[in-house]
């Protein structure tokens, strides 16, 4: 898949899925636009890509700040004259608390970054894509947006479910202009370092991750950021030109029905 001279904006790109996605596009000839509120991290990713002779630019942007988003998109468009791909990956979880202990501030912040941030970028970039009658927007939701989560409070699955609904709405709006909008729901993806696991407030440990994989993931391995990045690349390619408004699970089979999971527990 060749993306030579294409311009791909990737948010939440200072690490994890976003970083891997930047590399995936850059290696295929695209100009990777590395966006993150962590400017130092974004610049590190862009610098490492450029050090390999590939094309990347870094932007420090808060996706929840609509004025900052609009200014950034304008700057990219002025520099390159086009925007071909948008990957809405930026997110925060807000940590775990039962709903009665979840603060209004936590709720507002998670919705602002995860859901409103996706809206902000999609709106700004769509305005550049519509005149060209082409473009690809790929939103990163989560399995938690489909099935909920017992380890991330109410705000995170709510925001991720909202991204799925937003994807459907955007897909209907933009398909007549030749713009494909789709969504990926990752399962458990290894975006942490082992020492970070000890600092998680959700109760996750490496041992619990291993148990989760054994029971919940038929493929019997944790997902890697590259698993998501390669799916993004496919959805952004000509091979996916007739795919619109879809929600694609990339989770090693984690969303297979509960009967399969019970059978796994029983050793079938």
What's the rounded Cα separation, in Å, for the pair 162 and 128? 24
- Per the annotation, the verdict on 96 as an active-site residue is no
DSSP, res 138 = E
What's the rounded Cα separation, in Å, for the pair 132 and 129? 5
Quote the tokens at residue 260: 């399969």
Cα Dmax for the chain: 59
What's the rounded Cα separation, in Å, for the pair 105 and 264? 40
Residue of 59, 91, 96, 156 with catalytic role: 156
Residue pair 33/76 in contact (Cβ under 8 Å)? The answer is yes
What's the rounded Cα separation, in Å, for the pair 45 and 243? 30
Q: Which residues of 49-69 are buried (b: 16+ CB within 10 A; e: fewer)?
A: beeeebbbbbbbbbbbbbebb
- Catalytic residue numbers? 156
């Amino acid at each position: 898949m060749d993306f030579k001279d294409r311009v791909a904006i990737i948010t939440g790109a200072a690490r994890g899925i976003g970083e891997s996605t930047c590399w995936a596009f850059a290696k295929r000839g695209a100009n990777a636009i590395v966006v993150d509120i962590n400017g130092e991290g974004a610049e590190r990713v862009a610098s490492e890509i450029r050090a390999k002779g590939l094309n990347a630019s870094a932007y420090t942007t808060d996706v929840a700040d609509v004025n900052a988003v609009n200014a950034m998109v304008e700057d990219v468009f002025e520099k390159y004259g086009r925007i071909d791909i948008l990957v809405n990956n930026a997110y925060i979880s807000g940590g775990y608390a039962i709903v009665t202990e979840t603060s209004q501030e936590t709720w507002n912040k998670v919705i602002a970054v995860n859901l409103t941030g996706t809206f902000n970028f999609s709106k700004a970039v769509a305005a550049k894509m519509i005149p060209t009658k082409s473009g690809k927007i790929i939103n990163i939701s989560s399995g938690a947006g489909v099935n909920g989560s017992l380890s991330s409070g109410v705000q995170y699955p709510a925001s991720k479910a909202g991204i799925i609904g937003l994807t459907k709405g955007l897909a209907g709006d933009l398909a007549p202009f030749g713009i494909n909008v789709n969504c990926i729901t990752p399962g458990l993806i290894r975006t942490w370092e082992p020492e970070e696991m000890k600092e998680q407030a959700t109760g996750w440990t490496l041992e619990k991750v291993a148990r989760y994989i054994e029971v919940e993931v038929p493929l019997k391995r944790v997902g890697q950021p590259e698993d998501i990045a390669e799916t993004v690349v496919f959805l952004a390619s000509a091979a996916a030109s007739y795919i619109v408004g879809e929600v694609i699970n990339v989770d090693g089979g984690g969303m297979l029905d509960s009967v399969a999971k019970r059978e796994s527990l029983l050793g079938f």
